[in-house]
Amino acid sequence: MQRPRRTPTTRPCSARESAPRRRPQPQPQPRQSPTSTTTSTSRTGPARRSSPTRPGSSPTRGPRAGATPSTDPGADAGSVHGRHPAGSREGAGTIGLVTRTENAPVSSDVDVPASMWEVARRPRWIAMLALCLVIAGIFAWLGHWQIERSVESGQEVNPETETVKVLSDVVDPQSSFFDRVGGQMVTVTGQFAPDDFRVVVDRYNGGDPGSWLIGRLVDDADGSSVVVALGWSSDEGGAEAAERAVPTGTVTVTGRYMPSDQPSDGDFREGRENVVSVPMLVNEWTDLDGDVYSGYVVSADPVDGLAAIDSVAPESDRSLNWLNVFYAIEWVVFAGFAIFLWFRLVRDRFERDVDEAEEARLEGATAS
């Protein structure tokens, strides 16, 4: 049996129901500046940000019709900064509220010095300056010492060599021979020892070879003995014959005080002496009592039968020692370099502080 078909009934619609429904329009979102960060702080409803569109597709303005908001908490994890998790459909199931926060600029704790001298006034660099000044002072003193040496070498060792002085006042017996007494005119009073005369051969006088007659004089002042060269003869026999003309009593001898010669073994082995060596004569003298002077006196007044021995004043080199001057200049340069080294270290420290402050400022500007 066929059922009768029910005829649908219609009812009048109101104007509100008959009007087409409008799709809710998303609210415009404020544009984020490059220096701001966005965070998702709450879940208030469906996300209203549009996802990037693919070529050939129309932009999506909101959720599709009939779609329901997702309640899965994990669905909101990938929606930070408007991004969607991998595998999710574009613009679907994202919930979040985008907010904008401003980051404060990075502060720098680097102390920027106003000038290099501000760095120099720090305790560390003041101590370094004191050390450099001490080192420079030592170098300057060494330079001054070299200058004194160069000046001393250009002066006469003894400018008063021609002034006659008492031998005992110039030098002491048994003392070393110093350059300051070499060639000094002296006087000594005493008696000659009768058995201690010697003839020294191969002595030149004015370029001519000859012989000297020497003897031992005992000083009346302190009993010390000194060798005296009494004169020169062109032949050895004439020097030996002049020994009889030597006074036997107290005499005063004036002459130039000269250093002793070095011992020689050549002619001494044949019974002849060619040097005036005080140490060698001491071993030959008889009845020696008392001290001995380390030099000998060349008499200005020879005994009868002999010629005066050439004895000129010593020559001194008055030229300046340039080697010592060069050393003095070197020490002055070293002293200046010590001060320059401190200055350079302070300047490098100042430039490093400025560079570090600039780098910190740039990092702070980039981070903000």
pLDDT surpassing 70 at residue 67: no
Percent of the chain with pLDDT over 70: 64
pLDDT band of residue 39 (cuts 50, 70, 90) is very low
pLDDT surpassing 90 at residue 268: no
pLDDT tens, residue by residue, 142-182: 999 998 888 776 655 566 788 889 998 888 888 888 777 88
Q: What values do phi and psi take at 337, rounded to 5? A: -65, -35
Its pTM stands at 0.49
pLDDT surpassing 70 at residue 36: no
pLDDT tens, residue by residue, 277-334: 898 888 888 888 889 999 999 999 999 989 999 987 776 656 677 888 889 999 999 9
Nearest to 203 by CA among 154, 171, 153, 239: 239
pLDDT of 255: 93
pLDDT of 5: 55
Q: What values do phi and psi take at 315, rounded to 5? A: -90, 135
What are the sequence ranges of the domains in the chain?
Answer: 110-155+318-368, 165-299
pLDDT of 138: 94
pLDDT surpassing 60 at residue 185: yes
| Angstrom distance (rounded) from CA 244 to CA 76 | 141
pLDDT: which is higher, 291 or 45: 291
pLDDT of 60: 42
pLDDT of 109: 53
pLDDT band of residue 228 (cuts 50, 70, 90) is very high
Looking at domain 165-299, its CATH class is mainly beta
